[in-house]
Structure 1
Amino acid sequence: MLGSGLAFVGVTGSVRWLGTDLPAVQSAFLRFAWGVVFLLPALWTVLRAGMPAQVWKLNLGRGLIHTGAVVLWFYAMARLPVAEVTAIGFLNPVLVTVGAALMFGEGLALRRILAIGVAILGALIVLRPGFREIGEGHFAQIGAAFCFAGSYLFAKRLTQVLDAGAVVAVLSGLVTLGLAPFALAVWVPVTWGQLVLLAFVALFATAGHYCMTRAFAAAPMAVTQPVVFLQLVWATLLGALVFSEGVDGFVILGGGVIIASVSYMAWREHRLRRRVTPAPGAGQL
């Protein structure tokens, strides 16, 4: 999980370094085009095997909402401090929890509702509406958080019928196709340096997802979630040392409140699963 956090900070740092020289949609398209290149063998295998129509519909739905998410995220990342984008992005698991309750009928007990309320309070601490101007970048990142949450809910359903590699490969292909017409409409010349930088974005993102998947397989969520908070520490250091961004105590405090809420929900889920899971050998005669 530590490696995952460092990799995702590498993603945000690379996009921040890229800046606004390229339109957000063009940057997102080139990043996912590189992803398709890296995942081409897996994508080819999926296309050759074929998928049922219902599975294609789920993939198309996810591809559509994820396309909007990445455009909003690239737009926000080029305009906001690295730590601020990272802190607002911590809302994703909270929104997924709410969405799972609404779409999949998962329980939403009082403790969960209170934890979600605490996370929203953390987001308000980061944004501080009424005490400073909330710009387009902030609204874009909030929109990205909602869209990414929707994408993860689609992924939850897809992992029941496809393996993880196929889910990631199909998503990369569909998002690339979805971004292509919008990227071509605003296309500007691209330098070799920008292409290389976007290739690193794709590599960091792939490494981050791989490390996160390995962490989830190796340890319960109650162990892995608190480590996510270190991502805000790395993002703050990156912004201060590389981009000369000031360290905003409210961003650190708000991000910490959100992560505390997420960690509590993960810990409660882990405790409940242990309570209902029989001990090894208990079911044997």
Structure 2
Amino acid sequence: MDKIGFIGMGNMALAIVQGFINSHKINKENIFAFAPNQQKLQANASKVGFTAVASLKELVKACDTLILACKPYQIESVLSEVKDELKSKALISVAAGWVFETFHAILTDNVRIQCIMPNTPAMVGEGVMLFEKTNSLTSDELTQLKELFSALGIVEELPTNLMGIGGAISGCGPAFMDLVMEAYADAAVKYGISRDTAYRLVSQTMLGSAKLQQVTKSHPGVLKDAVCSPNGTTIRGVDSLEKNGLRGACISSIDVIMDFKKK
């Protein structure tokens, strides 16, 4: 993976590039990108340090590894334009909804493929990078790729049949966490705390609670019990959340996503 080329340069691609560069695992001089909006691409290139190129075919010819970061509906037209140039290249997709077999049906066997599903916290190095277990990369390429993406958060490998649920949890999950943060911040504001302070208190509480579980590897229920004193305030709040169906609402939010994906 000497030269990496990004097809598309939206927010997620930009976060990935910044993570790669900040990790010092690849020199910015070896990162290239193409996007239709050349003005915006050039501006980001000047700010971040990658090299902007003027055409898709120029990008594919210049790089041995391509990261497909365009919108899912654009993929087929992109592949049709550079299908021949992709031969003997490694193609890494970060587009939602596309898996190995989808690409393999379109491309020839001599294009090496890996599908990855990142999430938005990758922008601050705290993302989840879901690697589809089925891929055609060489073992060295897969090792290098996992090392690169580990700069953006944790790397988890899932079989194809679990990529959908994995994406629902990690891909959609940030929006659900944001809703919880907003709700508790609203409660803080209701009782007199300023909005900025409320967001700081709530986001740090969520961040700290998640970190505590990761470090201790304790069951979340055990950590919850440690805060709930007998006849105390916290257990009353927990009781209210249970009565109002918090667990069921969380599970149902994933059910509706999975049902929608089946359509």
TM-score, normalised with respect to structure 1: 0.25
Question: Quick check: which has more Rg, 1 or 2?
Answer: 2
Structure (1/2) with the larger helix percentage: 1
User: Of the two structures, which has the highest relative contact order with CA contacts closer than 8 Å and spacing of 6 or more?
Assistant: 1
